[in-house]
Structure 1
Amino acid sequence: MKKLLGTAAALAVMTIASQAHAARDYVWAAGSSTVFPFTTRVAENYAKKTGNKAPKVESLGTGGGIKLFCGGTGEGFPDIANASRPMKKSEFDACAAKGVKDIIQIRIGYDGIVVATDKDGADYNFKLEHLYLGLSSKVLRFGKHVANPYKTWDEVGSGLPGNRIVVYGPPPTSGTRDAFIELGVEAGARKFPILEEMRSNNEKGFKGLVDPLRSDGWIDAGENDNAIVQTLTRTPGSLGVFGFSFLEENGDKVKGATINGVAPTPTTIANGSYPLSRSLYIYVKKSNLGVTPGLKEFVSEFVSDAATGRGGYLQSRGLIPLPAAQHEANKASASEGKTMSRPTS
């Protein structure tokens, strides 16, 4: 009798947990401000096609979105994390610790990080080392690491405008900031042999020295990239860091700088010749595919030819499509529910 009562109690608990998990009747995605407009557009099309409730999409930054996504299972946590960089090993482990163990990684396309200024402002032609020298909190000067002494861009590199170093960019929770530091600031620092040698021997020490951005020249402007665009038009001579899609949408107001002589365009981002190019992702809880109403259909819409294929509606919003073969593989992985392995870093 006790055994039967125990079994009944266990079933009751499982039923209540399942009902709690299924209580939310809409898809929930959270994360990257760069991926936000793409996910929002897919959500709109999904709702029109299916008649289902439109998904909830939040812009919290990649780090903030993944943290919430990894917080646990059930209706109180997102089904999807939007990310403008790959999930880190530490984040994957944090997910696993909270019971989020089967994660589908879907690369949706490419994006470039742009350094932009007001349309009527001076032209900037940066080398990668200029981004390090202009923005790192400590820089190499006469063989020593010192607090950044540069006040204007022409002090950083000849040929750059004489404007004061003022850059509005995303906060530490943003994948755009992470990628900008890795692809821009760190890559610029590595142009100096002493720092490249340090990275080879002590990567953690290298990052600790190079990655912190100066507080007197870099201004955290939140997760709203449109707000950064508006700030540039009101602050002559200032620069902003954000995703390429926002440059395309606001080409009448701002313009992008060249990096190592290459301008950010769909072609240069897709072929990798633009140095600040990156991949964009969504992460999906496989366990939620049969629980959250519409999640499977929403993911199918995201990887469809109509959305992320070449000529799809997200391309018109600034997403750089994957090559055809990778797009097809992407669709297959999403359909099969193939889960990711633990990241190596």
Structure 2
Amino acid sequence: MTMKAKILALTAIAALTACQQPNSLPKPAESSEIRVVGSSTVYPFSTKVAQEFKNITGHNVVVEATGSGGGHKLFCNGSGPGTPDVTNSSRRQKKSEYELCKKNGVEEIVEVKIGYDGIVLANARNAPNMDMSLRDIYMAFAKNVPISDTDCTLRPNPHTKWSEVNSELPAIKIEAYGPPPTSGTRDAFVEIAMEGGAKEISCLADLAETDEDAFEVAAHTLREDGFWIDGGENDNALVQTLVNTPSAIGVFGYSFLDQNIDKIKGARIEGIEPQFENIVAGDYKVSRSLYFYLKKDNVEFTPGLKEYALEFTSDQAVGEGGYLAEIGLVPLRGPERTEIREDVKQLRAYSQ
């Protein structure tokens, strides 16, 4: 090989080596679709937004109903391509879940409240009408109940009929199909309805002040003797179970009652019906906030992710008269809605 040929060969090798330096490596592959996991209660709202967003932009959004707890676990498993971009939740993210995210490198999370939902106890349209107090709910579904209002010695729940809980309720079997432990609806139900009912019993109210852990065990532990049945995350299947079993009660989000009002009806809670106006006004006692959580790091890898979140928080989606209100979402007030949309625009991470 001539000297000139050697020089040309060395020049080519140097150029190739320069192209292989770390700052020239290709970026990680982009995700081809937006992936959403989480709450079965938020699922129909998220699915509706996904459909509208695809019609507008062409971006594909895949929504899975894994339950709130299952969604946070998947969401917090890491960031980047191949991990969920969003998790829906029918409760606020727990501190332990937030810390799991941090541990796994999910450093910046945008918390987005989308509206409100009522937790309903519903039965078939041809079943007896129900009007129950929070105390009735606790006494029907707690695994162990006090001997009396003044004696908090706990005993296995002896009640088998609603009339044994409250003589004004029908003499039919207590049979409830409710959400499983992974569900945010289950968390909200025990925290709002069961705790609220337990505090109607004077000795348990005292216990809540003196021993919070013991009170939580008494208030949160549901029956395991067949009178409470974990119904899974498929609320549509639960509606069909109620139609086929008129003596049964189902526990789920208001939107499913709203969408199936021709098949089922909601129980009154302390005289108040689970209706849109009553939830907005705060009169219906068993209600909660709904959320989704956005992984800020994934905006870089997932085309359309920020735009999806902006569509979800737009007035045409979550505003009064928006397309999500039409399927049962109870909207936020205007100023709060504006503030939350600004958080999304700025991708403002929250902290606990």
Q: TM-score band (shorter)?
A: over 0.9
Render the CA deviation track for 1:6-51: whole Å, top value 9, x for unaligned. xx77657xx56x515x2x2111110000000000000000000012
Quote the RMSD (CA, aligned, Å): 1.7
Matched, 1:42 2:52: no
Q: What aligned pairs does 1:144-183 form with structure 2 within 5 A after superposition? A: 144-183=153-192
Q: What aligned pairs does 1:94-105 form with structure 2 within 5 A after superposition? A: 94-105=100-111
Q: What aligned pairs does 1:22-41 form with structure 2 within 5 A after superposition? A: 22=30, 24-41=31-48
One-letter amino acid matched to 1:170 = P
Q: Residue 99 of structure 2 corresponds to which residue in structure 1?
A: 93
**Does the 8 A contact of 2:80 with 2:297 survive in 1?**
no
The one of 317, 325, 332 aligned to 2:342? 332
Secondary structure at 1:159's aligned position in 2? Answer: coil
**Does the 8 A contact of 1:290 with 1:296 survive in 2?**
no
Q: What aligned pairs does 1:1-345 form with structure 2 within 5 A after superposition? A: 11=23, 15=25, 18-20=27-29, 22=30, 24-52=31-59, 54-142=60-148, 143=151, 144-215=153-224, 216-342=226-352
One-letter amino acid matched to 1:284 = L
For residue 260 of structure 1, report the CA deviation from its aligned partner.
Answer: 1.2
Taking the aligned partners of 2:210 and 2:118, their CA distance within structure 1 comes to 30
TM-score, normalised with respect to structure 1: 0.93
Render the CA deviation track for 1:40-70: whole Å, top value 9, x for unaligned. 0000000000122x20100010000011000
Render the CA deviation track for 1:150-184: whole Å, top value 9, x for unaligned. 00000001210111010001100000010011111
**Does the 8 A contact of 1:166 with 1:238 survive in 2?**
yes
Q: Residue 12 of structure 2 corresponds to which residue in structure 1?
A: none
Taking the aligned partners of 1:209 and 1:259, their CA distance within structure 2 comes to 21
One-letter amino acid matched to 1:165 = I
Taking the aligned partners of 2:297 and 2:162, their CA distance within structure 1 comes to 51
Taking the aligned partners of 2:62 and 2:208, their CA distance within structure 1 comes to 41
**Does the 8 A contact of 1:32 with 1:59 survive in 2?**
yes
For residue 75 of structure 1, report the CA deviation from its aligned partner.
Answer: 2.1
Structure 2's unaligned 5+ residue stretches are: 1-16
Structure 1's unaligned 5+ residue stretches are: none
Render the CA deviation track for 1:48-107: whole Å, top value 9, x for unaligned. 00122x201000100000110001112222100100000011110010000011000000
Percent identity between the aligned chains? 44
Larger Rg: 2
Taking the aligned partners of 1:165 and 1:75, their CA distance within structure 2 comes to 47
**Does the 8 A contact of 1:36 with 1:58 survive in 2?**
yes
Q: Residue 8 of structure 2 corresponds to which residue in structure 1?
A: none
Taking the aligned partners of 1:270 and 1:331, their CA distance within structure 2 comes to 20
Taking the aligned partners of 2:346 and 2:276, their CA distance within structure 1 comes to 30
Q: Residue 5 of structure 2 corresponds to which residue in structure 1?
A: none
